Amino acid sequence: MQKAHQILKTVFGFDSFRPLQEEIIINILSKKDSLVIMPTGGGKSLCYQIPALLFDGLTIVISPLISLMKDQVEQLRQIGVETSLLNSSLSQGEYNKNYNSVLNKKAKLLYIAPESLQKNEIISLLKNVKVDCITVDEAHCISEWGHDFRKDYRQLGSFRKGFRSAVCIGLTATATPRVQDDIIKNLNMSGHKKFIASFNRENLFLQIIPKRKPFDQTVAFLNEHKNQSGIIYCFSRKQVESLHEDLSDLGFSTKPYHAGLPDDERNKNQDLFIKDEVQIIIATIAFGMGINKSNVRFVLHYDLPKNIESYYQEIGRSGRDGVRADCLLLFGYGDISKINYFIDQKEDPVERRSAEMHLQAMVQYAETEVCRRLPLIKYFGENYTEDYCGMCDNCTIDEKESVDVTINAQKFLSAIKRTGEVFGVNYIIDVLCGAESDRIFSNGHQNLSVYGVGKELNKKQWQILAHQFIRKELIRRDNEFGSLKLNESANDVLFKNKKISGFIKQPEVSRKKLKITDEGYDKNLFELLRAERKYIADSHNIPPFVIFSDASLIQMAKDFPVNEGEFLRISGVGVNKLERYGKVFIPIIKKYADKYRTGSKSLKIKTRKRGSRIDKPRHIQVGDSYNDGKSIKELEEEFNVKTQTIISHLVRYTAEGRSVRTNGLAEMLTVDKKHHKKVFEHFNMEGTQQLSPAFEKFSQEISYLDLHILKLIYLNNNMKK
């Protein structure tokens, strides 16, 4: 285990194991089959990757999606681990290279799709090497009870029988016992041990607000998350499309994703999101499987999810890097009826009943007044006993705003009672406000003593209160018909004068609650490092998070590592990353620290000039200044960055639909005119998304900086057309 700790630090760059990782690694190293159940982002991969480096032989990793495999393989290669990948997406040349790295025992890990394991060629390859470990990622795909059943996974049991000396590991984030039993049975796990990690994801901030003007609420939320990656989930394709249109009209960087789009468009949009080229993906539930982008900073539910499992899985896609992520749900009662409508279409009564119960649990969760983690974690069968998490709306609500609403409650409850407990929220409010509606008149309710006694509040304020009375369990709402009924405890308010406190003002997406992370890191330095990360990622055509996680960049912008020793102390920096990227990142940090830090020991940052432009995203500041007449050189000095960083800001500026002046750019190029044309022709054919193919095509003779400048010129020329 000492070796395992060493690898954790030197190869992966992490200081300590996350919960259960160590126990699991010990179990695997002693060749005992292991079933690992951890929530998304819990750190499952490390559990087999460290043993893989310690075993003599090969570790096979079976994974259901090519996109998942590619990112994992890239992440391992980035930290210097020899890794092979065999699937149908490879060119013949690449395939052979990967094949040979297994054959000549160079590769420590092989990522492969389940269907490939039935090919004779692959079987005989594997028979020629020593296989020490068989890892089945997303192991729930083996079970028909799971949500992503894959037929090819069923063959894995007999496949593993061919490798008796290999230990077998199943990994999944699905918690149901039935699925777990299926995995154990199908993989022929014997003498296995089951590891179940806590499903509590402490870094997710959970918030639910009443859905009023969902579009405005969304815009307010997005404005609090400028420059960040996030997902917006909608109920329908139509909603996805219209929200995408409206938000992009306002200048937000969005793309749609749903099953109705052609495959290539869907894949492209996903890719743009993963590469931080597009900030926000607006999607139906079709989006998510196969995404392991670690820097998703928020998930917004525009509509109510059908059940807690989906909700939890969807919010779980944020904050994988352990940095705070914000999860907001807009909760409207209208959504309940929409979902109920679909449930009613189900023919099987058992299925229908089960869907109803799931929906009910979801609604109860949305309405709860206690710490949100209590019902959520309990739902997954876990014993959660904390009563204050400090990371949900209910735990951080500002008590000062709460007022005595006993009289209001009494009026509301008697209106329900007097009208016979058969009407919905809006009708009750109409009665209280003395509305002159036909429905009220035909019921004769204008004659009740409660008619018109609630005029001190407007309709909206009453609605806000009604939600709270439900949450306080004074009343309940019939899910099918929407009618309100009194609970036992209502009597205490009506007859025993029990005091009720609550809020009359609408709780909103508040500034205070939605800080991204702890302050205490330098946002400007973070942006510089992020731009550099993006630049390198684009050059190599890999997602930015594969180079460094947001967590690593934040720590850099907090600790200011200015030499190799200090850089190595950053979580996520191992020896390989130090070697690869230290020489680029350390000078940026050093230069920045020299300019803005007072004294080497103090972490205090000199206060910077604050102008009106300070709140604009960096690339827009750069683009605007450039168009105002500043030269690239001047901008480099002003922002204290390299040429390439300025260029990538301008590229982003352009990619979002603004143009920049192109005179002067061509003069910066070091290649001749003849080459420009060839590169433009290449862009015409292949697009500008990836620069590495161009780099290879021109035998690495055109530098990446030149390619980025050419891309900028090209994009601007195209815009003028």
Residues that bind ligand ADP (CB under 6 A): 14, 17-18, 21, 38, 40-46, 292, 294, 320-321, 549, 571
> Given the complex with ligand ADP, which of 41 and 507 has the nearer CB atom?
41
- 38 makes contact, choosing from Mg ion, ligand ADP, none, with CB < 5 to 8 Å by partner type, with ligand ADP
> Given the complex with ligand ADP, which of 525 and 551 has the nearer CB atom?
551
Token readout for 640 is 């204290």
What residues pair up with 502 in beta bridges, in sequence order?
403
- 454 makes contact, choosing from Mg ion, ligand ADP, none, with CB < 5 to 8 Å by partner type, with none
Burial track 174-205 (b if 16+ CB lie within 10 A, e otherwise): bbbeebbebbbebbebeebeebebbbbbebbb
Closest distance to ligand ADP from the beta carbon of 45 (Å): 3
> Given the complex with ligand ADP, which of 22 and 246 has the nearer CB atom?
22
Closest distance to ligand ADP from the beta carbon of 318 (Å): 12
Closest distance to ligand ADP from the beta carbon of 549 (Å): 5
Closest distance to ligand ADP from the beta carbon of 525 (Å): 21
> Given the complex with Mg ion, which of 44 and 266 has the nearer CB atom?
44
- 64 makes contact, choosing from ligand ADP, Mg ion, none, with CB < 5 to 8 Å by partner type, with none
Q: How far apart are CA 286 and CA 529, in angstroms?
A: 33
Q: How far apart are CA 57 and CA 164, in angstroms?
A: 13
- 224 makes contact, choosing from Mg ion, ligand ADP, none, with CB < 5 to 8 Å by partner type, with none
> Given the complex with ligand ADP, which of 323 and 374 has the nearer CB atom?
323
> Given the complex with ligand ADP, which of 59 and 294 has the nearer CB atom?
294
Closest distance to ligand ADP from the beta carbon of 15 (Å): 7
Q: Contacts with Mg ion: how many residues (CB under 5 A)?
A: 1
What residues pair up with 298 in beta bridges, in sequence order?
230, 326
> Given the complex with Mg ion, which of 78 and 539 has the nearer CB atom?
78
Nearest to 555 by CA among 185, 15, 4, 2: 15
Nearest to 336 by CA among 481, 209, 508: 481
- 40 makes contact, choosing from ligand ADP, Mg ion, none, with CB < 5 to 8 Å by partner type, with ligand ADP
Q: In this structure, is the dihedral angle defined by the CA atoms of residues 467, 471, 475 and 480, taken in order, positive or negative? A: positive
> Given the complex with Mg ion, which of 210 and 290 has the nearer CB atom?
290
Q: Where are the alpha helices (DSSP H) in 640-699?
A: 643-655, 665-668, 673-686, 692-697
Q: Supply the angle between the helices 632-639 and 643-655 in degrees, to the nearest 10.
A: 100
Q: 117 Cβ partners below 8 Å, 6+ apart?
A: 62, 123, 155, 156, 159
Q: 482 Cβ partners below 8 Å, 6+ apart?
A: 333, 337, 424, 425
Closest distance to ligand ADP from the beta carbon of 690 (Å): 24
Q: How far apart are CA 631 and CA 170, in angstroms?
A: 56
Closest distance to ligand ADP from the beta carbon of 198 (Å): 13
Strand order in the sheet with 131-136: 83-86, 109-112, 58-62, 131-136, 167-172, 34-37, 193-196
Phi-psi sector, 84: left (phi>0), alpha (psi -120 to 50), beta: beta
> Given the complex with ligand ADP, which of 174 and 207 has the nearer CB atom?
174
Q: How far apart are CA 241 and CA 169, in angstroms?
A: 41
Nearest to 317 by CA among 266, 255, 270: 270
Residue 30-69 contact track with Mg ion, rule CB under 5 A, x = bound: --------------x-------------------------
Closest distance to ligand ADP from the beta carbon of 331 (Å): 27
Closest distance to Mg ion from the beta carbon of 100 (Å): 27
> Given the complex with ligand ADP, which of 549 and 621 has the nearer CB atom?
549
Closest distance to ligand ADP from the beta carbon of 8 (Å): 7
Q: How far apart are CA 25 and CA 331, in angstroms?
A: 42
- 229 makes contact, choosing from Mg ion, ligand ADP, none, with CB < 5 to 8 Å by partner type, with none
What residues pair up with 476 in beta bridges, in sequence order?
485
Chain residues that interact with Mg ion, rule: CB under 5 A:
44
